[in-house]
Amino acid sequence: MEKFEVIIVGGGLSGLSAAWTLAKSGVEVVLLERGDYPGAKNVTGGRLYTRPILEYFPGLLEKAPLERPIVREGATLMAGERHITFHYGDLEYSRDPRPSFSILRSRFDRWFAEEAENAGAMILPKTRVDDVIREGGRIAGVVAGGDPLHADVVVACDGVLSLLSEKAGLRGPGGSRDHAVGIKEVISLPPEKIEDRFNLEKGAGAAHLFVGEATRGKFGGGFLYTNRESLSLGVVVGIRDLVEKEPALAAPDFLDDFKKRPEIAPLVRDGETVEYSAHVIPEGGHGGIGPLCGDGILVAGDAAGFALNLGLTVRGMEYAMASGVFAAKTILDARAAGNYSRERLSRYETLLKGSFVLQDFESFREAPRILENPRFFRHYPEWLGAMFHDLYDVPAGPKKRLFPTLRKHLSFPELLALLGDLKKARKL
């Protein structure tokens, strides 16, 4: 009978963080990943905010294959033929320790897997887990490729649609309301072209989010991150809106249409698509977090629902990495006590609650409810677009005074609805 101290299922950031932390402490840990290599099946936008996790990963900024430090933020409201763009630059973003970086998961996760292996973890790619083993009411291992593999404890890091936590009876399948789908292309471009097009110093990076016509008024948005020699461009659409709301478009069509938009086309011109991917994202926020442990099992990363969309920032990777570390620390404690019961493993939740992970989810508890407001995705971009059109427009005849032009758009019902939305947004 094959038996390990710890089995981790999933070689994304949560699984690799857990494996690396455990291996460094001399624990016998095996990580099972269904992809050809860690990073092969992993999708992100991808911007990694490094400040919250530096204490757990010393040397990350020096050693990891990070693409570009993000020094410039952008946001665009898209409406029909119009758009309004806002840029934010901050010199602090260019000083060490720089707060966020673009990354490519195929590169980053591969590097991280090597680090974990060097620390002593055993990583088995091309190994899909299909079930859990139960013994005496606890999880005692997994079944991979028909073979039973036993362990003192299993960590489910198998991503957003976590089969493992479902099989372990910790959660049911999530509803469409709690999930979005992301479609992404990596488009290669020479570094000088990237720097010219985005007005960047050599080696610096930009992040840009888009809302409105990018998703045809459905819940979601577009994103663009600059990498060293490529752009990561994508669209995220809420699955419920995708299925229920007009226009009925297939998810990939959103990205095709987005690339043709006048705001995007000049940025990707002459670029070659070198990677195409689609992936589900947890959007449930605090309400989407499932049970975090059971007898003999812990759940980390997307599998636990740790992804948080605030409109201005999309975060999941540092939650995945930190939760992997906390799962590992919990296991070290349980191992010392020789006790992998649910009660002992529930110290994981205490660690998460004491950290930025669950404190962020608590602070932004109301975010999903506030952001699902359909007015953000069609009405506001169109309304503001029409207002700016009239303000900038110089007609053939006499131009109207600016104040009455503004007044025309700022009607009483409009202001009332805006106030209502602002009142709800106070909880963000």
Ligand X SMILES: Cc1cc2nc3c(=O)[nH]c(=O)nc-3n(C[C@H](O)[C@H](O)[C@H](O)COP(=O)(O)OP(=O)(O)OC[C@H]3O[C@@H](n4cnc5c(N)ncnc54)[C@H](O)[C@@H]3O)c2cc1C
Give contact residues for ligand X (rule: CB under 6 A).
9-15, 32-35, 41-48, 128-129, 157-159, 163, 182, 184, 234, 236, 279, 281, 301-303, 307, 314-317, 320
Closest distance to ligand X from the beta carbon of 168 (Å): 12
Closest distance to ligand X from the beta carbon of 124 (Å): 9
Q: Is there a contact between 35 and 299 (Cβ–Cβ < 8 Å)?
A: no
Kind and range of the H or E element at 20?
A: helix 13-24
How many angstroms separate the Cα of 338 from the Cα of each of 152, 329, 330, 334, 346? 9, 14, 12, 6, 15
Q: Is there a contact between 388 and 84 (Cβ–Cβ < 8 Å)?
A: yes
Of 10 and 288, which has the nearer Cβ to ligand X? 10
Closest distance to ligand X from the beta carbon of 384 (Å): 25
Of 82 and 184, which has the nearer Cβ to ligand X? 184
Closest distance to ligand X from the beta carbon of 424 (Å): 25
CB burial readout 221-256, b (16+ within 10 A) else e: bbbbbbbeebbbbbbbbbbbbbeebeeebebeebbe
Closest distance to ligand X from the beta carbon of 292 (Å): 13
Closest distance to ligand X from the beta carbon of 135 (Å): 20
Of 184 and 208, which has the nearer Cβ to ligand X? 184
Of 79 and 355, which has the nearer Cβ to ligand X? 355
Q: How far apart are CA 238 and CA 288, in angstroms?
A: 14
Of 233 and 345, which has the nearer Cβ to ligand X? 233
CA-closest candidate to residue 158, choices 324, 313, 269, 315: 324
Of 152 and 165, which has the nearer Cβ to ligand X? 165
Q: How far apart are CA 369 and CA 372, in angstroms?
A: 6
Backbone Cα Rg of the chain: 23
What is the end-to-end Cα distance of the chain in Å, rounded?
51
Closest distance to ligand X from the beta carbon of 6 (Å): 15
Closest distance to ligand X from the beta carbon of 109 (Å): 7
Q: How far apart are CA 79 and CA 84, in angstroms?
A: 9
Of 156 and 189, which has the nearer Cβ to ligand X? 156
Residue 266, amino acid: P
Q: How many C-beta neighbours within 10 Å does residue 421 have?
A: 14
Closest distance to ligand X from the beta carbon of 304 (Å): 8
Of 174 and 234, which has the nearer Cβ to ligand X? 234
CA angle 330/333/337 to nearest 5° reads 135
Of 288 and 385, which has the nearer Cβ to ligand X? 288
Burial class (CB in 10 A: 0-12, 13-18, 19+), 61: middle
Kind and range of the H or E element at 93?
A: none
Q: Is there a contact between 174 and 161 (Cβ–Cβ < 8 Å)?
A: yes
Closest distance to ligand X from the beta carbon of 165 (Å): 11
Of 23 and 79, which has the nearer Cβ to ligand X? 23
DSSP for 200-231, please give it. --TT-EEEEEEEEGGGTTSSEEEEEEE-SSEE
